Amino acid sequence: MTASANPLRAGLRLARVAEPSILVIFGGTGDLTTHKLMPAIYDLARQRLLPAAFGVVGIGRADLSDAEYRAQARDAVAHNSRSRPIDEEVWRSFSERLFYVSVRSEDGYDDLRRRLAQFDAQLGTAGGRLFYLATPPAAYAPIVRALGRHDVARNGDGWARIVVEKPFGRDLESARALTHTVHEVFREDELFRIDHYLGKETVQNILVLRFANAIFEPIWSRQYVDHVQITVAESVGVDDRAEYYDSAGAMRDVVQNHLLQLLTLVAMEPPASFEAEAVRDEKVKVLRAMRPIGRDEIEARTVRGQYDAGYIEGATVQGYRQLREIAPESRTETFVALKLFVDNWRWEGIPFYLRTGKRMPKRATEIAIQFRAVPHHLFSAEAREGLDPNTLVLRIQPEEGISLRFGAKVPVQGIRIRSVAMDFVYGASFLVDAPDAYETLVVDALRGDGTLFTRQDEVEEQWKLVDPILAAWRESDGEAPRYPAGTWGPTEADLFIGRDGRRWRQP
């Protein structure tokens, strides 16, 4: 039975059961696997969301036995799983299906092919394979080519899929080249470009909030919305990612993927169904409708910045250029603010303000839809002194939830109005921990559900918007304005939004 023929599938993605398969993780001993993937896979096993016939194969350069790899994996789960302590019965069953293969050179792929065939026979996985590239981006293309040359990707009639971590390319040209390379071995429907933000509960809840409630969608347009702010703030610096970050910057690291994906979910039209292609079709329409930022608009519609020394939670932190791995003359941006427009019937003329930065006062990701002020004020200026426009805020991290601000009368003699909030918090409302984003995305990839993954045309449209901005910054004589660590970015960012008579929300 196909997914569309299954009545349980309509509106319920979890109806599709993952097929027998082996999850092959390149970078099987790396940070991503240690901190995210292995804990997520264990938690899926604990929830019985993995297929009965299933195995995990970690790939790395080190010489490790299966027992040594299992010990490393247990340590990763013990320190990073959201469900602690380890359930010994679950771990025993899970670890028996956990293996390691060392691949140091091209010859290692021949050994990998033989070992995977053995695991298929041993575990009953019928040749189903999901390859996960948890490696530095430079390794993506060589790994894919080697999988093709050594006939590793497929075994008989079994299915094959591949998950590629962001960044997918560093510009439009390299993204297209990487897609071409992957397509030599895997079809587009077998390629899962992962953006972990799309696996977060509140991000998925954007669609539920909009399309499962009759009260929001009628006012979700230029008629009622004044503007939208999307903020991804990080209190951390670049840590051990300095080499990568200095070649990428905030635009490639966060804006091109996370921020633009969040914008598409806020701005998209209702899809015909909650199927992968229907949802992604609507997201692509938003990206194609976005107004490009020309060179003559760079100063008016973009701001970049770079953090300097300052204080985070009372502790002194170094400036970006003071880090040992960063060149003293580095111009890499650690802060970006953009003003974007979606030129379509629903959003014409409504600004979307995007902002992200390192070393900001707190870690916070939120989407704020600010509605227009009432058309006529009945109450005196003194009475409404504490009244702000209605705002719907979707908090994505650290505490996932939704807040609606509206005006209410203060319980005193006479009329005094103050803005108050109605809050929905996941943990308090459902009394369960939300699944980690990687749990959601791994199980979706095993099911072959691409709804929360980015398609080729999405990625290309994102780069089409970002590339001209990066080129203009690169060719300019000026440097990114500095901002002290522990602040909300450079002063230029406040002036940038202030020119429109607006101000940034403080999460």
Q: What is the mean pLDDT of residues 176-194?
A: 96
Average model confidence (pLDDT) across the chain: 90
The whole-number pLDDT of residue 394 equals 94
**SS3 category, 94:** helix
Amino acid at 43: D
The whole-number pLDDT of residue 383 equals 62
Question: Which position has the higher pLDDT, 2 or 159?
Answer: 159
The whole-number pLDDT of residue 8 equals 34
The whole-number pLDDT of residue 380 equals 64
Task: Please check the confidence at residue 381 and state whether its pLDDT lies above 70.
Answer: no
Residue 446 belongs to a domain: no
Q: 167 with 215, same domain?
A: no
The whole-number pLDDT of residue 210 equals 92
Task: Please check the confidence at residue 498 and state whether its pLDDT lies above 80.
Answer: yes
69 burial class (0-12, 13-18, 19+ CB within 10 angstroms)? Answer: buried
Confidence of residue 4 (pLDDT cuts 50, 70, 90): very low
Our count of domains for the chain comes to 2
H/E element, 2: none
Residue 222 belongs to a domain: yes
Residue 262 belongs to a domain: yes
Rounded CA-CA distance 206/147 in Å is: 37
The whole-number pLDDT of residue 375 equals 76
Confidence of residue 18 (pLDDT cuts 50, 70, 90): confident
Task: Please check the confidence at residue 95 and state whether its pLDDT lies above 80.
Answer: yes
Residue 109 belongs to a domain: yes
Task: Please check the confidence at residue 3 and state whether its pLDDT lies above 90.
Answer: no
Q: 188 with 205, same domain?
A: no
Task: Please check the confidence at residue 154 and state whether its pLDDT lies above 60.
Answer: yes
Query: In sequence order, what DSSP letters do the residues of 100-119 get, joined into one string?
Result: EEE--STHHHHHHHHHHHHH
Residue 145 belongs to a domain: yes
The whole-number pLDDT of residue 386 equals 67
Q: 158 with 18, same domain?
A: yes
Q: How far is CA 375 from the centre of its chain?
A: 37
Q: 242 with 160, same domain?
A: no
Query: Beta-strand (E) ranges in 329-480?
Result: 335-341, 351-357, 364-371, 391-397, 401-409, 417-425
Q: 165 with 253, same domain?
A: no
Question: Which position has the higher pLDDT, 488 or 241?
Answer: 488
Q: What tokens does 399 get?
A: 């505490």
Rounded CA-CA distance 440/11 in Å is: 16
CATH of the domain at 474: 3.30.360.10
Q: 277 with 165, same domain?
A: no
pLDDT tens-digit series, residues 411-456: 777 787 777 788 888 777 776 777 888 999 999 999 999 999 999 9
Q: What is the mean pLDDT of residues 482-494?
A: 96
Phi then psi for residue 312, to 5 deg, are -125, 115
Q: 164 with 215, same domain?
A: no
Residue where a domain terminates, one of 177, 194, 211? 194
Q: What tokens does 326 get?
A: 């960063």
Residue 27 belongs to a domain: yes
The whole-number pLDDT of residue 339 equals 98
Question: Which position has the higher pLDDT, 11 or 192?
Answer: 192
Task: Please check the confidence at residue 15 and state whether its pLDDT lies above 70.
Answer: no
Residue where a domain terminates, one of 194, 223, 248? 194
The whole-number pLDDT of residue 14 equals 47
The whole-number pLDDT of residue 409 equals 74
Q: 225 with 327, same domain?
A: yes
Task: Please check the confidence at residue 147 and state whether its pLDDT lies above 80.
Answer: yes
Q: What is the mean pLDDT of residues 387-391?
A: 82
Question: Cβ of 300: how many Cβ atoms within 10 Å?
Answer: 12
CB-CB contact of 237 with 317 (8 Å): yes
Q: What is the mean pLDDT of residues 351-362?
A: 97
Q: 233 with 376, same domain?
A: yes
Residue 190 belongs to a domain: yes
Q: 411 with 267, same domain?
A: yes
CATH of the domain at 151: 3.40.50.720
The whole-number pLDDT of residue 309 equals 95
Q: Which residues of 204-225 are buried (b: 16+ CB within 10 A; e: fewer)?
A: bbbbebebeeeeeeeebeeeeb
Task: Please check the confidence at residue 197 and state whether its pLDDT lies above 50.
Answer: yes
Q: 419 with 273, same domain?
A: yes
pLDDT tens-digit series, residues 41-85: 999 999 999 999 999 999 999 999 999 999 999 999 999 998 889
Rounded CA-CA distance 471/463 in Å is: 12
Task: Please check the confidence at residue 1 and state whether its pLDDT lies above 60.
Answer: no
Confidence of residue 405 (pLDDT cuts 50, 70, 90): confident
CB-CB contact of 285 with 269 (8 Å): yes
Whether the CA torsion 41, 46, 48, 49 is positive or negative: it is negative
Residue 442 belongs to a domain: no
The whole-number pLDDT of residue 7 equals 35
Amino acid at 291: R
pLDDT tens-digit series, residues 263-285: 999 999 999 988 999 999 999 99
Which active-site residues does the annotation give? 258
Task: Please check the confidence at residue 327 and state whether its pLDDT lies above 80.
Answer: yes
Rounded CA-CA distance 220/90 in Å is: 45
Task: Please check the confidence at residue 2 and state whether its pLDDT lies above 80.
Answer: no
Domain of residue 25 covers: 13-194
Q: 206 with 313, same domain?
A: yes
Residue where a domain terminates, one of 135, 168, 194? 194
